[in-house]
Amino acid sequence: MTQADREADFTEYISARSPWLVRVAYLLCGDWHRAEDLAQVAAGKLFQHWARAARADSIDAYARRVLVNTFITEKRSGWSRLAILTREPDEPAGADADLDVSLDLRAALDRLPPRQRATVVLRFYCDLTIEQTAEAMGCSAGNVKSQSSRALSTLRKRLEPSLHPTFEGLSS
């Protein structure tokens, strides 16, 4: 396969899958602009290793792992703590979505540590098995289980008050 053929294959793949990569990146980082940057960096790394990625059983799984590793590496660097600007999400909620619950969930997800957040996104948004998540994150299945358990426990604690409001002053 020539270099031009590899570049054409990569271009075809990234053109078809970049919206998916950006959505997963958004769930990881919580900001559309950062998600686009994260997906772009991951795409660059994927291009560097395209020969290996193209031979993988699943290019999507390979790309997802590159994206998650890029996110976790970015969160470890001082840069992510130095320049995080928050703003309203660009994507409007669906017509039937409960906006308050959606915003509460995003805020709670945002406060999870990077590995727990990555675990939740991979397990419940990408619908990966424990083993697939472990492979994508480069860790053991037991680690995925403990990260998931901690993350879900934290999310339950943070979301419970907003899901069950108490009305003070009302008698039962």
CATH of the domain spanning 1-89: 1.10.1740.10
Q: Over the stretch 11-23, which tens digit does the pLDDT of each residue have?
A: 999 999 999 999 9
- CATH class of the structural domain 96-163: mainly alpha
Q: pLDDT band at residue 2, thresholds of 50, 70 and 90? A: confident
CB contact at 8 A, 87 and 31: yes
Q: Over the stretch 153-166, which tens digit does the pLDDT of each residue have?
A: 988 888 876 555 54
DSSP letter (8 states) at residue 112: S
Helices (H) and strands (E) in the chain, counts: 9, 0
Q: Over the stretch 34-47, which tens digit does the pLDDT of each residue have?
A: 999 999 999 999 99
Tell whether pTM > 0.75. no
Which tokens sit at 101? 């619950």
Mention every residue, 6+ apart, whose C-beta is less than 8 A from residue 143: 134, 137
Domain residue spans of the chain = 1-89, 96-163
